[in-house]
């Protein structure tokens, strides 16, 4: 799945360069997202502590949830936002949900290596950090627009306050559903670490 995710990233970056030349999309899909996708594999391969802490299944789960995050994001970045049918709602819902699961998976080995107890309190902490991340993302979009002249913090059919509110609401719903999912399969997630 990692190969397909990377392929989607590079195709998205290539299409963007050939059609619109928005550097922020090219940098995201051509550089940043591929590096983020490969980083857990890098640590798994080269960090002995990580390799001794997580199973190979851990990488597969990260790849699985990352694949859907990239798959849902790429078409939005290229065209779906501009078609004006509020794909943004689904995007914030799904990416927040998958993002929470990915964030939880990434912090499992860190918590284990540091000797932290991995219980329901840990899960709630990850949830609130992710919720803060939703607000942070909105601020980042606004900042990129101011610096790069893009329209990330923008909606074609509604005011920015309604768009902002919907992004937060749909993102929070996605986080809550992901929280319930992780909670339901909590023991299976814990089996990914030694």
Would you place residue 46 in the very low, low, confident or very high pLDDT band (cuts 50, 70, 90)? very high
Position 133 pLDDT exceeds 70: yes
Q: pLDDT (tens digit, 9 = 90+) per residue, 23-39?
A: 677 888 899 999 999 99
Which of 73-77, 107-111, 158-162 has the lowest average pLDDT?
A: 158-162
DSSP state of 192: T
Which residues, 6 or more positions from 22, have their beta carbon under 8 angstroms from its beta carbon? 16, 150
Which of 102, 101, 87 is CA-nearest to residue 167? 87
């Amino acid at each position: 799945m990692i190969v397909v995710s990377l392929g989607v990233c590079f195709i998205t970056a290539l299409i963007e360069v050939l059609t619109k030349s928005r550097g922020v999309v090219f940098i995201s899909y051509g550089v940043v997202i591929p590096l983020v996708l490969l980083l857990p594999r890098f640590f798994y391969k080269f960090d002995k502590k990580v390799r001794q802490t997580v199973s190979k299944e851990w990488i597969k789960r990260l790849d699985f949830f990352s694949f859907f995050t990239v798959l849902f994001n790429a078409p939005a970045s290229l065209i779906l936002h501009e078609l004006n049918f509020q794909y943004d709602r689904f995007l914030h819902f799904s990416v927040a949900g998958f993002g929470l699961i990915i964030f939880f998976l990434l912090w499992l080995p860190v918590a284990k290596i540091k000797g932290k107890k991995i219980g329901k309190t840990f899960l709630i902490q990850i949830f609130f950090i992710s919720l803060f991340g939703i607000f942070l993302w909105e601020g980042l979009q606004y900042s990129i627009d101011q610096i790069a002249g893009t329209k990330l913090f923008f909606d074609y059919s509604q005011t920015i306050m309604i768009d902002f509110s919907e992004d937060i609401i749909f993102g929070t719903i996605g986080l809550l559903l992901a929280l319930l999912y992780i909670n339901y399969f909590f023991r299976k997630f814990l089996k990914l670490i030694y």
